[in-house]
Structure 1
């Protein structure tokens, strides 16, 4: 009988709350949260009480050394991802790390190299890929249902993201993709894919989609139900169950990385973002000269 995957939660912040709440909606025979760590023990203890977690730690090191933790969910702020992930890997813990995996492409490559050197699972938590609507769209594209792809458009305008930026990506074969993000205006938050045989669209909340429109036909993908008393900080956070279930399946199969969100794509995403920053003249303290 397959045993439950025992999670350790690194951080007691808002996204950690949502992920833990999502995990606790899944069968305990498959997923259990056994420990939480924060830099302040009182915060970890409060988080543990709220989520009925048996162990709380006042340091990340204590959690990574816990033999009952099978996998660590890293939810610290992204400038601290590198140190936290490397610490987990050094303790032989598989890791699901919140996005972005690293501040720079060099940080991402350092984490990827460490995971591969130790033969440990590492995945960037790009939760969007695991929503059924996104999986259905990916399947349609793989089947050639839209013909040859020509244009992909996406925008993300909501408080909390970068100031207004638009990037255009040119792919071999003539495909062009563009994305816009803005903190200063509300955008449609949609994704559109145009091919020689039609169009597919996620009309809103494309980062946590619940519907897909293909050539005018809409299909809805309801989210899992949660207890009325459960609350989340972010929209559709119950959808984190999809990536959690995927991680469990990967580990049960002995995989060292996800076939849906492979490490090479985390490196590619970091490269794209770094080039975009270079072109607009944005540098971080972590950028190497």
Structure 2
């Protein structure tokens, strides 16, 4: 699978690390092409990371007939436009989270991919991790009893990054960090075997403190689900680093270090005694699992990944819209 990356920023470097590891270890993935708005930047990236092709425009990458999958690695505000550009050239896509600025854009991109018959997936890498299945199996085995509550906090002092400060670039804590807290709760509480059939959020209590530029700086989100479970979530781009989640059951709890890549899973009994610690293995940096899932889906002729179907992308985008709308965040409005 010839892999192309649209954009040469920080996240593109992380994905490149995963793709190169897959290539070197014989997983059938090739770091093929990189595109930037600057040819010099793309060429430098290609030389440093071993890409065969370098393009000075995104359209050139989209027009390359040999690219099998393009990863959109530009800011949130550009995801819809860049996705639509690639879809018009019938390219399979893996789009970095947050998928788009709002649900309206997401719906439009998905509809166009459906019309063109192209593969499309949101790169919410957490949902593809082997650790997710490990935790699910522990819960289904009754290790912690019936799940009642989830807590999650992903905070990191990132307000110095211009993109996160800028409303025009869909900045703020929620789309970059808070989506992980929401995803952590969603993965386990909406699982029909864990949370119960058709378990959905029935009530939301939320509070946000704004950054001087108008984006959300720190957010608190409390959710009540239809089967009675609770989720207590927090995110901040100005608070000290705190990245962890806990699933509480009637017989114990599971603590996860790092909501995004789940580098360690700790299981505690009802008395709070640590009974097991699991460090999931990885090929590179955990980004590789979403790439492999996309490769498998494309080879099987599927247009979406079971781990992150279009319906789930839209569902989460609507939740993000609802939250930001309640905080009066401007970027919820359609930019189409």
- TM-score band (shorter)? 0.7 to 0.9
Q: Which runs of 5+ in 1 are unaligned?
A: 227-237
By how many angstroms is 1:7 displaced?
A: 0.6
- 1:260 maps to what in 2? 307
1:1-289 aligned within 5 A: 5-26=1-22, 27-28=25-26, 30-141=28-139, 145-160=143-158, 162=173, 163-186=217-240, 188-202=242-256, 204-215=257-268, 216-224=274-282, 238-284=285-331, 286-287=333-334
> CA–CA distance in 1 between the matches of 2:223 and 2:288?
31
> CA–CA distance in 2 between the matches of 1:33 and 1:187?
32
Cα distance change of structure 1 residues 56 and 180 upon mapping to structure 2, 3 Å threshold: same
> CA–CA distance in 2 between the matches of 1:53 and 1:244?
17
**Residues paired across the two proteins, number:** 273
Cα distance change of structure 1 residues 130 and 217 upon mapping to structure 2, 3 Å threshold: farther
By how many angstroms is 1:220 displaced?
A: 2.6
By how many angstroms is 1:197 displaced?
A: 3.5
> CA–CA distance in 1 between the matches of 2:86 and 2:294?
16
> CA–CA distance in 2 between the matches of 1:147 and 1:117?
45
> CA–CA distance in 2 between the matches of 1:120 and 1:145?
41
By how many angstroms is 1:135 displaced?
A: 2.6
1:174 alignment partner, SS class: coil
Task: Indicate the larger mover: 250-259 or 143-152.
Answer: 143-152
8 Å CA contact retained: 1:130, 1:242: yes
Task: Indicate the larger mover: 82-91 or 137-146.
Answer: 137-146
With normalisation by structure 1, the TM-score equals 0.88
By how many angstroms is 1:107 displaced?
A: 0.8
Cα distance change of structure 1 residues 219 and 117 upon mapping to structure 2, 3 Å threshold: farther
2:14 alignment partner, SS class: helix
8 Å CA contact retained: 2:35, 2:56: yes
* Aligned-residue CA RMSD (Å): 2.0
Which deviations, in whole Å up to 9, do the C-alpha atoms of 1:225-266 show, x marking residues without a partner?
A: 66xxxxxxxxxxx21111111111111221111111111111
With normalisation by structure 2, the TM-score equals 0.76
8 Å CA contact retained: 2:4, 2:69: yes
Cα distance change of structure 1 residues 54 and 188 upon mapping to structure 2, 3 Å threshold: closer
> CA–CA distance in 2 between the matches of 1:144 and 1:285?
40
